[in-house]
């Protein structure tokens, strides 16, 4: 799968899956020079129970977030560009809050999730990213003020909990995830959505 095709596939798959539990927007413009966020997700509170069917992706989608999927391992410049878009989005949220006369709490700001097939040890060290037992293998957190986490798809444990992120992987990780999707019950709407996008 080419980088461009993977980028489109990843955005459509994540948006399609997350549309079942909230509002997902792709190609969101942020102010200053035009910069695009791959996926901005806003959860719907009435869909909270439905997020469980998305496993780890559903946990990620528990709060407003930006998701930036990469076909190849992200480099430091990629992560910096994502953080820049996050900070611009936070600035926009602050302006909206000031205009409406509302205050913001830390949890009102979006999280950033950078998703790649692998994340190098050098990149983790450069950003001070730390693993979290609560999130399992493959999920690394920057210090809390950055509101950013990195996901190494190929380190995620196999199983339904991580399926919707592992399908964004490469090689055997992605092939195994596709096999697991094919094994889902045919009436599963997430199965149909994923297979249409995979074959498209």
What CA–CA distance (Å, rounded) separates 110 from 58?
A: 15
As beta bridge partners, residue 23 has 42
* Mean pLDDT of the 138-149 span: 98
Q: What domain range includes position 109?
A: 3-199
pLDDT tens digits along 180-192: 999 999 999 999 9
pLDDT above 60 (res 9) = yes
Q: Do residues 154 and 118 lie in contact, with contact meaning Cβ atoms separated by under 8 Å?
A: yes
Q: Give counts: helices (H), strands (E), the chain.
A: 7, 7
Q: For residue 163, what are its two tokens? A: 């399926």
Q: Do residues 116 and 74 lie in contact, with contact meaning Cβ atoms separated by under 8 Å?
A: yes
Query: Mean pLDDT lowest for which of 27-36, 89-98, 102-111, 164-173?
Result: 27-36
CA angle centred on 164, ends 77 and 81, rounded to 5°: 15
Query: Mean pLDDT lowest for which of 3-7, 55-59, 157-161, 173-177?
Result: 3-7
What is the pTM assigned to this prediction? 0.86
pLDDT tens digits along 33-67: 657 899 999 999 999 999 999 999 999 999 999 99
Q: Where does the chain have alpha helices with state H? A: 3-19, 56-60, 76-100, 121-127, 163-166, 171-182, 189-199
* Mean pLDDT of the 64-88 span: 97
Q: For residue 54, what are its two tokens? A: 């998305």
Give the pLDDT of residue 27.
83
pLDDT tens digits along 117-135: 999 999 999 999 999 999 9
At 150 the three-state DSSP class reads: strand
The closest alpha carbon to 79, from 10, 87, 134, belongs to 87
As beta bridge partners, residue 40 has 25, 66
What CA–CA distance (Å, rounded) separates 144 from 81?
A: 18
Q: For residue 144, what are its two tokens? A: 């809390």
**How many domains is the chain built from?**
1
Query: What percent of the chain is modeled with pLDDT above 90?
Result: 82
């Amino acid at each position: 799968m080419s980088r461009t095709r993977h980028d489109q596939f990843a955005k459509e798959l994540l948006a399609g899956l997350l549309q079942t539990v909230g509002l997902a927007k792709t190609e969101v413009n942020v102010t200053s020079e035009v910069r695009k966020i791959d996926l901005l997700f806003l959860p719907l509170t009435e869909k909270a129970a439905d997020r469980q069917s998305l496993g780890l992706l559903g946990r990620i989608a528990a709060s407003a977030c930006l998701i930036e999927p990469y076909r190849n391992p992200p480099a430091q410049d990629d992560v910096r560009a994502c953080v820049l878009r996050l900070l611009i989005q936070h600035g926009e949220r602050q302006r909206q809050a000031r205009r409406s006369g509302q205050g913001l709490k830390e949890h009102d700001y979006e999280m950033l999730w950078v998703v790649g097939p692998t994340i190098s040890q050098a990149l983790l060290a450069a950003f001070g990213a730390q693993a979290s037992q609560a999130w399992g293998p493959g999920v690394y957190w920057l210090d809390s003020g950055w509101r950013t986490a990195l996901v190494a798809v190929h380190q995620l444990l196999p199983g339904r909990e991580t399926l919707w992120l592992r399908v964004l992987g490469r090689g055997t990780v992605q092939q195994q995830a596709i096999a697991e999707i094919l094994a889902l019950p045919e009436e599963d709407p997430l199965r149909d959505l994923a297979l249409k996008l995979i074959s498209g």
